[in-house]
Structure 1
Amino acid sequence: MSQHFNFSAHIRNKRLFFYLGCFLLILLLSGCKKETPDNLQPSHDNQQQAVNPKLVPPSAEVPEMSFDEVPPALLITEFLAANDSGLKDGDDDRTDWIEIHNPGQTPLNLSQFALTQDRQLEELWEFPSFLMGSGDYLIVHASGKNRRLSNEEWHTDFKLNADGEFLAIVMKEPRSIVHSFGTRYPQQHDDISYGISSDWVPGEFLLDFESHFLAPSPGKTNGEVLFGFVDDVSFSLERGFKEEPFELILSNSTQGAIIRYTTDGTAPTAEHGEIYESSMNVDATTVIRAAAFKDGYAPSSVMTHTYLFLDDVVRQSPDGEPPIGFPFDWNNNLVDYGMDPRVVDQPAYSKEVLTGFRDLPVISIVMDIHDMFGKEKGIYSHARKDGRKWERPCSVEYFHSGPQPGFEIDCGIRIRGGFSRMDNNPKHSFRLFFRDIYGPSKLEFPLFEGSSVTTFDNLDIRTSQNYSWSFGRDGENGLFVRDLVNRDIQRSMGHLSPNGDFCHLFINGVYWGLYNTCERPEASFASDYLKGGKEDFDVIKIQNGGGERTFATDGNTDAWSRLWKAAKKGVKSNEDYFQLQGKHGDGSEDLDSEVLLDVENLIDYMLIIIWSGNKDAPVSAFSGDWASNNWYGMRNRNHREGFQFIIWDSEHTMLKEDLEINRIGPFPAGNEFSSSNPQYIWQRCLENEEFRMKVADRIHRHFFNQGLLEPDQLKALFDHRVDQIKNAVVCESARWGDSQAPNIAGKSTPGRFPLTRDDHWLKVVNYTRNKYLSQRSDIVMAQLLAKGLYPDVNAPVPSFTGEGGAAQLALSAGKGIIIFTTDGSDPRMIGGDRNASATTYQNPIPNSGEFQMLKARTSYEGKWSALLEIEF
């Protein structure tokens, strides 16, 4: 097949330009001055136009680009991919931005061009019709907001990646690259832009003039280029636990660079911090932040190392006075500092407190103390404030006492929680945000053992609030494991549930107590574990703390509203019930109907809520059961998957006074959309016979035959979490055990003795294990039977005889006949008829030598038992 190419040539500024189709070859003819001709000097008379383009009316006469002569180049002269403190858009957001420049002599209609991150040039963000004059500059915000019709600002549908990626401006027809930064622009840095040096003149090879700029200049000629980047500072000794004093050496491989360091949590700058001159003796708990600087170079990253001396930690502020550098007050927030000598000096605990520190990993938060506790901008001293404006930069280190790997990362930090933001709570929880304005845009680390997910957009650092030793007046119910155990149960059932693990938290080297890391159930979490991108998910929750409003923290509430309305209307008929699952009334798939509900997930979620006696999720007993609280639902709107529900914030569970509590409902919360919740969906679905049968099946799965809600299985999950913190609780006792003691001015002031592990925590552990976990399942079964949610026909009971190939499965029941299948189908058909492919049990079933899934039910006088499922 023959192909034809257009060929032309043109000489400009002593350079020969050859055109072969859309490809350009430039040959240097003779010495060219690096001076921009007068007629090509950029014009900056209208800086407003550079930021706020005016659209061209469709009727305007606009010159078209011609390839008969040298095409006027349209360039990306500058962009900023990590905008920490620079240009804001009209929404007051500091977004990424791209500067477009027309260096030619001819005005251009931008409708011929597009921006892209796609190397295949298929996914384009197209410019609207706009006449860009010769020498003009224009700013496009790379925010992902996708706006191009405004007369004020344009926003792309993508954001820039500070780690480096493809970026180009392209001609739409014929599809070709007008300008790009190679196949991938390099790593970007906070508030340092990248682009084309102002020394470039048309005809010069652009790659030779690419550079970083220390002072971004959107809409203006680019400023002084950087000569390079200073290498990071090296520490002679890794962070972590230390037992002996040591000499710390800081070094840097960039010749001529100066190292500055701080020990107060602030980040060193070219003007702030001590100049490093020689090794330092470190003989006590210390946080060191160091960076290197050199004129004409971008500074290094700030490196942070925390060194913990436990003999020093256990003596921190024994009189309750603030540690050096910490304030006496946190505005109106209750203040509590120090380790209680009445715990750490007690013979029963003096060694175990040291063991407790080494049992768990450490999270060390290091930051400007004013950003944490300051009167004006401190997040801790304004704990009720929320949102991006109350996020502060910090360093986070994660390390163990042993050789296990750890990490250090710069990120953003906020206070998290609802009711716990009260001023009378001295121990708040935190949320970390990994953004490229601070450092890496994601945390990449295998934080949770056994999890397939190792990258995180954010991370919660939670602490017990209700029934804690630091907040409220019910510390003697303090257990610290309730929330994690409830989430462990849901995960063990095979459902999605946020991972979490215990840790010790330090703030600028000061011990802050026992905490636990936790994934946050939002779009990035759903995308990590389920199929789809973050943009595909609707994540629904209730507004913090009050049950005032159901809203979408990601996506929208459209599908959730349809599910709630359908449930409210009624699902007694099979047509209505199965429609929620995208099925016909006979249970067969209806590909024209959307899937709104994951029935098995809803039932298992509710069985955990009921078994645990949860008084604050998803319906709050503290509102008289009129409000919902503490629940998440998520769904991929582009897949045939229904809403799944997440166990969340389960502190009001497994309580001594609630051994016989009944949380089956029905409750009024959910009658209005503002208080809609999964328990309301459950209540409405209970009208349907097929749903009730499925409830019975899930009850049998979890409450019988070593199911997860049998006492022995529950105790195994409970014991695992208790064993993790049995020594670390001593550390929490020393730090917060006296927080609820009245009229104590300092840690050494006589008063009520602090809450301790042996006298308080172990009593709650023993009660929970020996009574609640031992008796609660039987109590709940009686409640479910009384509600008619479990049939009075006994399900088949399995037993095995023989061994190996001679093994046989025997089934027994009381009244009735046992009917089973081994092809995966249910012996009972929808509507209650017998499955034609099912077999009546008469004799033990021999081992066939191949895997079999047996499903069996007992049938008696027209009634069916719950389903027995067993693999053999």
Structure 2
Amino acid sequence: MADNGGSSLDSDGDASDWIEIFNSGPEFADLNGHFLTDEEDNMTKWQFPTVQIPAGGFLLVFASGKNRNGAGSELHTNFNLAKAGEYLALVAPDGSTVIAEFGSATNPLPAQFEGVPYGLMQTGNTTPTVLIPSGTPAKALVPADGSFRKTWTRIGFDDAGWNKVTTGVGYDENSTYIPEFGAGGNLGNRLNNVNTSLYLRVLFDVADAPAISKLTLKMKYDDGFTAFLNGVRVAFSNSPASTTWNSVATGSHADGDATTFKAFNISAHTHLLNTGANVLAIQGLNTSMTSSDMLISPELHAVRITDSTIGGPGYLGTPSPGTFNGDTFDGFVSDTKFSVDRGFFKTPFDVRITTDTVDAEIRYTLDGTAPSRARGKIHSGPIKISGTTIVRAMAYRSGFKPTNIDTHTYLFPVDVMNQQKMRTTITRSGVYGPQMVDSLKAVPTISLVTHNAEFLNEGRSNIREEYQTSIEMIFPDGTPGFQENGGLSNYGGRYTNFRKKSFRIAFRRKFGVAKLRYPIFDGFEYSHHPPAEDFDVINLRSGSHDMSSRGAYMSNRFTDDSMLDMGNIGPHGRFVHLYLNGNYWGQYHLRERWSADMASSYFGGSEDAYEAVNANDNFRNDEDVYDGSGQFWSETKGLLSRPNPFINAADHIDVANIVDFMLLWVSGNSESEFRAFGSETRGIPFKFMIKDADGFLRSPGHSANHAGPYSVMSRMRSGVNSSDYSILLADRIHKHYFNNGALTPAKNIQRLKRRVDEARLGFISEAARWGNLFREPTSWESYQNNLINNHFPRLTKTMIGRFKSAGMYPNIIAPVYSQHGGSVSPLTPVTMATDGKIIYYTLDGSDPRLPGGAPNLDALTASFDVNGPDPITFLSTGHTWK
């Protein structure tokens, strides 16, 4: 792989080039003393340490130029692979005998392409096999708490005390599922009315893991499940994105369907299989503890390659480190080109689709379905576009890799105004009707196109499974956007089943690209954290409870921006219009997802180095580590729960960050939920965000001195270093609530106005689509005006009063500067004012206060009579001071 698109990252988190070596022999292959080289005149360029490859096994070596060859460690050559094509050889210890090679000086490797591997064909006969049949011995448990976290999904977990069963398992107050239960599998009252979750572990052996080319999980289930293969989530249905010990199914699976196996293709996870012991771990989910029944019954089917043969070199369809390569192909069909790019239009036009590959055929569709070699119309002439239309196309040629599917959405605003779901009380209004075309073009557009028509069913439950989708970003002013393919699902908790639903798009190689690489938040910069430009996942937030019952669409955007304005990390966002298969779906909040991927984008390193945690009501219910092992978070929780976390947990939580998080949270009225991420290996303490800010923009609903997550705020107040914590707390209050800080009236109003101005015109279209259920333009505008004219002018003073009453902020006036930084005129003195008798100050950047409270011995003082202080010169031009 000479241009790694992220298929395999090295331990540094880099997408380094890589080389894979396969041992086709019947015994271990010892590579000690062998060489890899990319130069024919330097056959000993990089030497292997002592390393063996088992029979039929694979070894991955990163061609990164990092030159690491320690025995037992990740291997890195001292050279990179040339994308233009070059020579590559495996050389025997004598330094001259070539064991295997690609290319030569006169006939080098062909040009290499991003994400496309090159290698030898590996095929053979295929044999279906059942790795886990029905009735397989297993272990089951009804969890009583979350103490196991996700350790129970891993191969080495000790399940000795669990119930011995054979699959399937569950309970039934009637008799429907009784024939489905294996020996000991009817758990009856041990599960019924005890928990909505069930843990099941099925151990199985694989004799030759690299030979497994396809993997299918078949499930009978009522009502939902999440499946893990050797600790990694591989399939789910009717399941939250992250599960805890008592999670509830997010939808129902009818009894009539539950007894029929449903297949889930998990072939993308064959690399997780071990030669030897493996475990399939399943968390079964029920809709409620009072449900009359529950069923979990898995089978695991595989296709094994036997009598494998190795053919000639060529390009390969997908990266497959650790497994057989499959067939090769000779080249690529050039991408399709559209004569007219996606965008907004007033009049009909023709579209022509071409490819530069000779003898290639193009097929296209106009109904949103994905074209293929056998599906769609053959392109033979211009396509007439006279209204909102989605054109999807691909090109293919025998022996070549076909193109991906290109999608272009052509939007006619006048046509959109007249769609069936649009309310004529808005679109034909004398006030709003004339603004509709401009409203539909007021913010960028996201167009999602998917074959699963269930996403268009407003009355359904949230869809948790990912379905392939095309995503386009279209700018009304003609700025080039993007089109990629990803996995579409809904997200949101159990109380978010609104007709207008939130969507999540995951970028995975099985759908298209492993990451979206585009500056989707360009223009929404914060100097300390400019927005990322590559993403694993992006969210499209509907507004949820904030659409009407708790607010007017602005709370989450406002709190995200507030944390950024306060100098912290927070999800970047922007407002967009959303279309589903050409149907206008409303104005949405396009938002970064708080995750390990987001953390690595802003703080460096691999996302594998980070943990991300979610906690719901009371800052701890349904707590789940959804990225990472959870070890760092477990250590952190222990420190937060013990005395003096201000000192003892300082390396585990960003204290200033959690103080800011709490100051912001108590200034509003949202639920007590958070997300956090951190990295032990990179020295990044956990940083916090308000997870669900619905309702924040209301009168404060929490005590100013709330105990916080795991009562950490209370413990910091009462610790042995409480005076230092108290000063930090007062400093953060002073920073944000005084002197034009981020939470002063002017800044709050400015921040909200900026987002209201961004969303106002587009909101007319939102109201045309959803206003009868949520907010009309007048009530939306009225809500924002009340915040600007009444709420924010009073909020800061209210909060300062509460902080003082709670003992969080002193009554003495901190020194107030006549000018807070910036250029100083030699003719204009800078003054400090306070109601105290003495000011300690420094001119060298040091803190005038030492830990513990004593004045800094190097601090200068300004003493005066509070009844009539005389001016004291304390700053001359050229100094820095604090």
TM-score by length of 1: 0.66
Q: 1:284 offset after TM fit, Å?
A: 0.4
Counterpart-to-counterpart distance in 2, 1:219 and 1:560: 31
Mapping 1:476-515, distance limit 5 Å: 478-515=551-588
1 CA distance for matches of 2:714 and 2:35? 47
1:99–1:234 distance in 2 versus 1, CA, 3 Å: same
Please list, as runs of the form range in 1=range in 2, the aligned pairs for 1:493-642 lying within 5 A after superposition. 493-542=566-615, 547-571=620-644, 577-581=646-650, 595-614=651-670, 616=671, 619=672, 629=673, 631-642=674-685
Structure 1 range deviating more: 514-523 or 526-535: 526-535
Equivalent position amino acid for 2:648 in 1: Q
* 1:543 Cα deviation after fit: 6.3
Summarize deviations over 1:508-566 as a string: whole Å, max 9, x none. Answer: 11101111211112112111111433222222222699953433222333333333333
The partner residue of 2:427 within 322, 344, 350 is: 344
How many Å separate the matches in 1 of 2:783 and 2:626? Answer: 36
Q: What's the secondary structure of 1:291's corresponding residue?
A: strand
Alpha-carbon shift at residue 788 of structure 1 (Å): 0.5
Q: Is the 8 A contact 1:339 1:735 kept in 2?
A: yes
- Cα deviation for residue 124 of structure 1 reads 7.9
Native 8 Å contact 2:456 2:580 kept in 1: no
Residues 645-667 of structure 1: CA distance to partner in whole angstroms, max 9, x if unpaired?
A: 12332112112xxx253333445
Q: Partners in 2 of 1:812 and 1:228 — Cα distance?
A: 75
Q: Quick one: structure 1 residues 351 and 97, their matched pair in 2 at CA, closer, same or farther if it must change by over 3 Å?
A: farther
Query: Does the 8 Å CA contact 2:32/2:49 hold for their aligned counterparts?
Result: no
Cα distance between partner residues in 2 of 1:844 and 1:262: 79
- Distance, in Å, in 2 between the alignment partners of 1:217 and 1:705 is 58
**Corresponding residue for residue 756 of structure 1:** 776
Q: Distance in 1 between matches of 2:46 and 2:714?
A: 46
2:833 alignment counterpart: 812
The CA distance in 1 between the partners of 2:557 and 2:784, in whole Å, is 14
Q: What displacement does 1:305 show?
A: 0.2
Native 8 Å contact 2:705 2:803 kept in 1: no
CA contact (8 A) 2:614 2:624 kept: yes
User: Is contact 2:120–2:328 with CA below 8 Å preserved after alignment?
Assistant: no
Aligned partner letter, 2:538: L
Match of 1:704 among 709, 727, 738: 738
Q: Comparing 121-130 with 507-516, which one deviates more in the overlay?
A: 121-130
Q: Secondary structure at the match of 2:747?
A: helix
Q: Pick from 661, 668, 693 the counterpart of residue 650 of structure 1.
A: 693
- Pick the structure with more strand per residue: 2
Task: Report the 3-state secondary structure (helix = DSSP H, G, I; strand = E; otherwise coil) of the residue aligned with 1:708.
Answer: coil
Structure-1 separation of matches of 2:488 and 2:87? 31
- What does 1:319-334 correspond to in 2, within 5 Å? none
State the distance in 2 between where 1:172 and 1:520 align.
Answer: 49
The equivalent residue for 2:536 is 457
Residue 349 of structure 2 is aligned to residue 246 of structure 1: yes
Question: In structure 1, which of residues 720, 723, 741 is the aligned counterpart of residue 754 of structure 2?
Answer: 720
Deviation at 1:684, TM superposition (A): 6.2
Q: 2:703 aligns with which of 656, 659, 663?
A: 663
Change (3 A) 1:371 1:303: farther
Residue pair 2:646, 2:655 contacting (<8 A) in 1 also = no
| 1:73-100 deviations in Å (ceiling 9; x for gaps) | xxx9xx99999xxxxxxxxxxxx99682
Identify the range of structure 1 (119-128 vs 636-645) with the bigger mean alpha-carbon deviation. Answer: 119-128
- Say if 1:123 and 1:724 are closer, same or farther in 2 by CA, change over 3 A: farther
Match of 2:284 in 1: none
SS of residue in 2 equivalent to 1:804: coil
Aligned partner of residue 781 in structure 2, secondary structure? helix
Is 1:210 matched up with 2:229? no
Query: Which segment drifts farther, 638-647 or 720-729?
Result: 638-647
Alpha-carbon distance in structure 1 between the residues aligned to 2:37 and 2:691: 38
Q: Is 1:526–1:537's contact at 8 Å kept on the other side of the alignment?
A: yes
CA distance in 2, matches of 1:491, 1:454: 17
| Cα shift at 1:420 | 5.0
Matched residues in 1 for 2:356 and 2:508: separation? 28
- Match of 1:403? 478
Deviation of the 1:568 alpha carbon: 2.5
**Could you tell me which residue of structure 2 aligns to residue 468 of structure 1?**
547
1:174, distance to aligned residue in structure 2 (A): 8.0
| CA root-mean-square deviation | 4.4
For residue 444 of structure 2, what is the amino acid of its counterpart? P
Distance 1:118 1:372, change over 3 A: farther
CA contact (8 A) 2:463 2:489 kept: no
Q: Which runs of 5+ in 1 are unaligned?
A: 1-75, 84-95, 144-154, 200-206, 318-337, 375-379, 582-594, 620-628, 671-675, 741-754, 855-872
Question: Structure 1 residue 570: deviation in Å?
Answer: 1.4
Alpha-carbon separation, structure 2, partners of 1:257 and 1:519: 39
187, 195, 200: which one aligns with 2:119: 195
Q: Is the 8 A contact 1:466 1:651 kept in 2?
A: yes
Is 1:102 matched with 2:102? Answer: no
- Say if 2:343 and 2:409, in contact at 8 Å, map to a contact too: yes
- Residue 830 of structure 1: aligned partner: 851
Report the CA distance between 1:458 and its aligned residue. 1.7
CA 1:165 to 1:598, structure 2 compared with 1: closer, same or farther past 3 Å?
A: farther
How many angstroms does 1:433 deviate by?
A: 1.6
Cα distance change on mapping 1:262 and 1:682 into 2, 3 Å: farther
| Alpha-carbon offset, residue 716 of structure 1 | 0.5
For the 8 Å contact 1:115–1:126, the answer to whether it is kept is no
Match of 2:408 in 1: 305
| CA distance 1:813–1:281, shift in 2 (3 Å) | same
Superposed, 1:162-201 pairs within 5 Å as: 179=100, 194-196=118-120
Give SS of 1:316's match: coil
CA distance, structure 2, for counterparts of residue 217 and residue 496 of structure 1: 36
1:848 is displaced (CA, Å) by: 3.3
* Residue 236, structure 1, aligned to residue 339, structure 2: yes
Instruction: Tell me the secondary structure at the aligned position of residue 780 of structure 1.
Output: helix
Structure 2 Cα separation of the partners of residues 217 and 821 of structure 1: 61
Gap change, CA 1:562 and 1:209, over 3 Å in 2 = closer
Q: Could you say what secondary structure the match of 2:746 adopts?
A: helix
Flag structure 2 segments of 5+ consecutive residues without an equivalent. Answer: 8-17, 63-72, 124-309, 864-870
Counterpart in the other structure of 2:394: 291
Match of 2:362 in 1: 259
Compared CA separation, residues 819 and 101, structure 1 to 2 (3 A):
closer
**Is the CA contact (8 Å cut-off) linking 2:343 and 2:478 kept in structure 1?**
no
**Counterparts of 2:374 and 2:556, CA distance in 1:** 46
CA contact (8 A) 1:609 1:663 kept: no
Match of 1:438 in 2: 511
The separation in 1 between residues aligned to 2:791 and 2:603, in whole angstroms, is 34
Distance 1:117 1:735, change over 3 A: farther
1:365 aligned onto 2:451: no
What is the distance in 2 between the residues matched to 1:113 and 1:382? Answer: 62
Superposed displacement of residue 732, structure 1: 0.6
Q: How big is the shift at 1:506?
A: 0.4
Contact 2:117 2:318 survives alignment (8 Å): yes
Matched pairs, number: 651
> Partner letter of residue 410 of structure 1?
N
Q: 1:142 to 1:836 in 2, by over 3 A?
A: closer
Normalising by the residue count of structure 2, what TM-score does the alignment of the two structures yield?
0.66
Q: 1:114 to 1:266 in 2, by over 3 A?
A: farther
Q: How far 1:703 moved relative to its partner?
A: 1.0
**Aligned in 2, Cα 1:180/1:418: closer, same or farther, shift over 3 Å?**
farther
For the residue of structure 2 that corresponds to 1:414, the secondary structure is: strand
Superposition deviation, residue 340 in structure 1: 0.5
